[in-house]
């Protein structure tokens, strides 16, 4: 029973962060979704130590374990747009390829820079 109350409290904390970020986006007319602002806020709160990881781990672990279930509604909705993808899919191909290449090259470059930096520090010691 104690564990159930702990999970409910942690889910409530996640919901409060989501609700506040959605309210901020609506109030300030920001051009991003409230959920994205909520994720950024949660990242900042966790990074600064204002919220401890232990305060959310009991609720977050089951949600992360079943994360793929949250994408099923999106996939079903995309299936209804099949005709659009057949007609205009070629217009999506170039941005998908370019954005994938940019992400891969950026990630690879950052990893190489960090790796050289880390090896440089080892050699100096």
Average pLDDT over residues 101-118: 91
User: The tokens 């962060």 sit on which residue?
Assistant: 17
| pLDDT tens-digit readout, 18-61 | 999 999 999 999 898 888 899 999 999 999 989 888 888 888 88
Closest CA to 10 of 58, 45, 50: 58
User: The tokens 């993808």 sit on which residue?
Assistant: 85
Confidence bin at 108 (pLDDT 50/70/90): very high
* Cα–Cα dist 123/116, whole Å: 10
Give the pLDDT confidence score for residue 124 in this predicted structure: 56
In the predicted structure, residue 67 carries a pLDDT above the cut 80: no
CB 22 within 8 A of CB 43: no
Contacts (Cβ under 8 Å, ≥6 apart) of 110: none
Q: Report H helices in 68-81.
A: 72-79
Confidence bin at 123 (pLDDT 50/70/90): low
């Amino acid at each position: 029973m104690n564990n159930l109350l702990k999970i409910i409290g942690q889910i409530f904390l996640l919901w409060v962060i989501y609700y506040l970020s959605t309210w901020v986006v609506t109030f300030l007319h920001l051009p991003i979704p409230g959920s994205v602002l909520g994720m950024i806020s949660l990242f900042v709160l966790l990074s600064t130590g204002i919220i401890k990881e232990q305060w959310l781990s009991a609720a977050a672990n089951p949600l992360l374990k079943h994360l793929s279930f949250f994408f099923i509604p999106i996939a079903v909705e995309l299936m209804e747009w099949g005709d659009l993808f057949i007609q205009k899919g070629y217009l999506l191909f170039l941005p998908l390829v370019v954005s994938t290449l940019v992400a891969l090259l950026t990630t690879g470059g950052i990893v190489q820079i960090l790796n050289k930096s880390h090896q440089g520090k080892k050699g100096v010691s």
